[in-house]
Structures are given as structure tokens and as C-alpha cells.
Structure 1
Amino acid sequence: MFAQRLRELRSEKGVVQKDVANFLNITTSAYGFYEQGKRVPDTDIMIKLSNYFNVSLDYLLGKTDVRNYTDDSNITIALNSDTDYDELPKEAKDEINNFIEYVKQKYKDKK
């Protein structure tokens, strides 16, 4: 999933492998191995890729389809028993669940 996401993101951004490799300060060949799934970058490179493509690490790794979590200070979610979530499309339900997982992970270590 990681290699596929890298190829898709690079294509969407309209850049070639050499451009991304230059940004990362690595060889084009080394970056090409990431897109081919032959190598997995270290954590520092992953973070740089996440920033370069403006996506979350979870998205880059294929753990979620949410590209980038927005600043949660601008989001209000009202969860109550009166809300009928069954009427929402699957995509909306997935977004809500992904956000809930994001918040749980964010505050997991702050207990």
C-alpha cells in the first residue's frame, strides 16, 4: 500500500521521482525503490514524505483513507443518541470513525 500511495501522490503533485529524491536528499534510485516496494524508508524520510505530500503518516502507510487530519480545534462533532447515523453514506460514517480513531490515538498517552 505504501508504494502505491507514493506513486499516486507523486503523480497527483505532478512531479517526477528525481524531484522527490532531491527534496529528500537521496538518490533517484533510492526513491525509486520506495515506489517499487523494494525498500522502506526510515522514520525521518517517512515524516519528510508526509510533509512533502501534505498527508498524514497513517494515510501514507495505508492505515486510513483520510489524507490529512484537520486541526481539531476547528471541528465540532456532536455525538448523541438522537442522531441517526444510519442515514449517512458509508463514506461519511468512515470519516467519522477515522476521526474518532485519530482523537483516541492523540489522547491515548495523555491519560
Structure 2
Amino acid sequence: MLLKDRLKELRLERDLLQKDIAQILNLTTSAYGYYEQGKRVPDSETIKILSNFYNVSSDYLLGMSDVRNYTKDSNITIALNSDTDYDELPKEAKDEINNFIEYIKQKYKNKK
């Protein structure tokens, strides 16, 4: 999914109008509309504001991931194996584990 699609999807999920988001970003409605039309790409600061507003990762917003947000706790406390020490893993590995955990949660969320 592309950025323009994610922006529209997230806005509609909250029953907001383009003018509502434009106001948050201090833009004109047409300027924001260009983002949803794919005619313009928001700068990094705007991506950050939108990610925080929608409570999603910037990777999700940019279409680089289907995981909406990552666990904010960098110290993984999951004991998949009591002999495993996750603190020694690099941040990238912890992010991958968190990404996989979020994927599994989403996959089985509706199967309860």
C-alpha cells in the first residue's frame, strides 16, 4: 500500500475530513489533498507528526511495513526460551522480533 492510500485509510478510520488533518498540519486543505492524491510527498517532520497522530510507525505510513506500530519497549521481556538473553541483541534484531510479535497478534486477533 502506498503512502497516499495509508493517509486516506487512516483519516477515514477516524471519520475525519481532509480539512481536519490539514488544520493539524497547519496546511491548506488542498495542500494536504495533494498528499492523498500522491501529487506531493510530505517532508520527514510531517511524516513524524502524522505517525504520532495516528499512532502508527512511519514505516507503516510509508508503506514499508504492514505492522501499524512496534512495541516501544526496547528491552524485550518475552521469555520464549529462558536461556535466551535478548538484551545482547542489536536494536535491529529486537525490532524484527517486535515486528514478528505484532504480526502474530494481528494474524490471530480475529480467531479468538
| Superposed displacement of residue 99, structure 1 | 4.5
Q: Tell me if the contact between 2:71 and 2:98 (Cα under 8 Å) persists in the aligned partners.
A: no
Deviation, 1:32, is 0.2
Q: Is the contact made by 2:4 and 2:36 (CA closer than 8 Å) also made in structure 1?
A: yes
Runs of 4+ in 1 over 4 A off after TM superposition: none
CA 1:13–1:74: 2 relative to 1, 3 Å: farther
Alignment match, 1:104: none
Shift of 1:52: 1.1
Structure 2 residue matching 1:46: 3-state secondary structure: helix
User: Structure 2: which 5+ runs fail to align?
Assistant: 82-95, 102-112
TM-score (norm 2): 0.67
How far apart, CA to CA, are the structure 2 residues paired with 1:45 and 1:25?
10
SS at match of 1:72: coil
Task: Provide the residue aligned with 1:23 in structure 2.
Answer: 24
Q: Supply the RMSD in Å over aligned alpha carbons.
A: 2.3
* Superposition TM-score, scaled by structure 1 size: 0.68
- String of CA shifts for 1:65-108, please: whole Å, max 9, x gaps: 1111122258533455xxxxxxxxxxxxxx857358xxxxxxxx
Q: Which runs of 5+ in 1 are unaligned?
A: 81-94, 101-111
Contact 1:7 1:35 in 2 (8 A): yes
Count of residue pairs the alignment pairs up: 86
Letter in 1 for 2:10: L
Between the aligned partners of 1:97 and 1:15, the Cα distance in structure 2 is 30
The separation in 2 between residues aligned to 1:68 and 1:97, in whole angstroms, is 9
